[in-house]
Structure 1
Amino acid sequence: MSVDEARPLSVVLVDDHSLCRNGLTDLLQHRGGMRVAASTGDASKVCGLLREHQPDLLVLDLRMPMGDGLSVLRQIRAEGIDTPVLILTMSDAQDDLAAALHAGVRGYLLKDMEPEDVIASIGRAARGELVVAPALTLKLAQMLQGGRPGQERQDLLASLTEREREILEHLARGESNKTIARALDISHDTVKLHVRHILTKLNLSSRVEAAVLAVEQRGASAGGDSLFRRTPR
C-alpha cells in the first residue's frame, strides 16, 4: 500500500482499554496530525474496519481478552488483507518481540515510550519504515545474533558486494524500499532483489533482522563511522 503524502496518515486502533484508545486517538490526531479512522476493543471487528477504511496502518495491542494481537494479525492475513501492522504493548518480553517480528509486523513499540516518540514511530511505520522501541534494541540484537560468533558475522558481511553494503546501510536506518530506490536512483525492483540477496548471504529471514545486525555491527566497528570493517578478500 502506497502512502499519499498529500493527505494525513490514517490509522485504525485496536486496544481493549477504552482509556488507551481515547488517549492515543487524541495524541495522534491533535499532536501528530494523523487521522484515526476507527478504533475498537473487539478483535472480531478488525477485518471489517480494515476493509471499510483501508488505513495506512493498524496499531494493535498484543494482549486482549477477546483475542491476542498476533492471532488478529494471522486472521487479517488469512482474509487477504495486507494492511501494515504495528504492535503497541506493555510487554517487553523477548519472546513476544520475536513472535511479532516473525509474524511480519511493521513495528513493535512500548506503551511507556514518550508520547512524541510514539507519534514519530507510528508515522514512520505508516510511511513504510520498520520501527522498534529503543529500549528493545539490545534484546533484539541478542535475539538475532543467536550466539553467532563475531568472526562468522564478519565473514558473512564481507561476502556482500559494495552495492549490497550500501543498501544495508539504508536498511539500518529503517528506510523502505521506495525510499532506498529514490536515494540510490535505482528501481524499486532492483532494491527488492538486492535485499533478497542480502538476506540470503547473511542467513536471515527478514529485513528487520538485517537492519539490527547492521546497527549492532556499526557500533562494533572502529570509530563507529562505518557499518563494516573492510575485510581483505
Structure 2
Amino acid sequence: MTAKTRVMLVDDHALCRSGLTELLQHRGNMDVVVATGDPAQVVPMLREYQPDLMVLDLRLAKIDGLSVLRMIRAEGCETPVVILTMSDSEDDMSAALRAGVRGYLLKDMEPEEVIDAIGRAARGEMVVASAMMLKFAQILQTGPKGSVMGSLVASLTEREREVLDHVARGQSNKVIAKALTISHNTVKMHVRHIMDKLNLRSRVEAAVFAFEYSNSPEGVKAAGDINLKVKS
C-alpha cells in the first residue's frame, strides 16, 4: 500500500484548518499529522512530526507566512511548502517564489483542484492556481525563444493551438470544453498531446511557454497559424 502524504497545516483560522483537514484526509487520502495557527510552534512541530509537505497561509495574525518560511529555512528545515492564500497579488506570489515555495494556491479554488495540486506538490511538482498562471508566466518570463519555439508551436494542430490559448489564460479543462464545445475527455487528450509535442510537464509550463512565445495569450493561435503558413 502506498504511504499517505503527511501534511502539516499552518493557518490562524481554526475553521480553515478544520475544513482543509477534512478535505485532505477524507477526500484527498492524505494524513494531516499536525495543524497550528501559532507561528512559534511551527519549527518545533516540524521537527517532531517531520511532515512531507507544509501548507502555509500567507496572512497570519502575528506574523506573515513568508516570515515563517524564512524562519524555518534559517533553522535548517527543508520541508516543501505550498502557500494557500486569499491573495492574488503578483507581488505576493513573486516574493513566495523567491522564498522557495513549491506552490501558490488560492483559497477560492475548487476543493478537487486544491486536493490535486497539493498531491502533485507532494510528488515534487511546482503547482500554481489556474487564476495565477499568467502572473506566474510574467514573473518567470525570460523572453521569446525565436525559431525553436516557433517550430514547436507550428507542430500543433489548429485545435491544439486553440486549447493551448485557453490553457495560457489559466482556464480549467471544464471551462475549455464549454468554450470550444467539445467534451472534457477531448480537452484532456489535446492537453496531453500538447505536453508531448512541446516537451512540457505541467499546465503551468504550458502557460509559461505560451507567454514567452508571444508575450500575449491572445497571440498563441495566430503565431501558430503564421508558422504553418510559412512551412506550407
| TM-score > 0.5, shorter chain as reference | yes
Matched, 1:90 2:74: no
The partner residue of 1:33 within 25, 29, 35 is: 29
Letter in 1 for 2:199: E
Residues 1-233 of structure 1 correspond to what in structure 2 (within 5 A)?
A: 6-145=2-141, 148=143, 150=144, 153-154=145-146, 169-172=199-202, 213-216=208-211, 217=213, 220=220
Provide the C-alpha distance between the structure 2 equivalents of 1:15 and 1:50, rounded to a whole number of angstroms. 15
Q: Structure 1 residue 143: deviation in Å?
A: 3.0
> Any stretches of 5+ residues in structure 2 without a counterpart?
151-195
CA deviation vs aligned residue, 1:18-48 (integer Å, no higher than 9, x gap) = 0000000000001111000000000111111
Return closer, same or farther for 1:222/1:79 CA change in 2, 3 Å cut-off: same
Larger Rg: 2
- So what's the TM-score if we normalise by structure 2? 0.68
CA RMSD of aligned residues (A): 3.2
CA deviation vs aligned residue, 1:36-70 (integer Å, no higher than 9, x gap) = 00000001111111111111100000000111111
Q: Structure 1 residue 127: deviation in Å?
A: 1.1
* Structure possessing the higher relative contact order (Cα contacts under 8 Å, 6 or more residues apart): 2
> Any stretches of 5+ residues in structure 1 without a counterpart?
159-165, 175-209
- Aligned residue pair count: 181
Q: Structure 1 residue 212: deviation in Å?
A: 5.1
Return closer, same or farther for 1:223/1:17 CA change in 2, 3 Å cut-off: same
Provide the C-alpha distance between the structure 2 equivalents of 1:91 and 1:32, rounded to a whole number of angstroms. 24
Q: Structure 1 residue 170: deviation in Å?
A: 3.6
Q: Structure 1 residue 140: deviation in Å?
A: 1.7
Provide the C-alpha distance between the structure 1 equivalents of 2:83 and 2:77, rounded to a whole number of angstroms. 17
**Aligned-pair identity (%):** 58
Provide the C-alpha distance between the structure 1 equivalents of 2:102 and 2:132, rounded to a whole number of angstroms. 15
Checking the alignment, whether the CA contact within 8 Å between 1:11 and 1:35 is kept in structure 2 is yes
Provide the C-alpha distance between the structure 2 equivalents of 1:71 and 1:106, rounded to a whole number of angstroms. 16
Provide the C-alpha distance between the structure 1 equivalents of 2:112 and 2:106, rounded to a whole number of angstroms. 13
- So what's the TM-score if we normalise by structure 1? 0.67
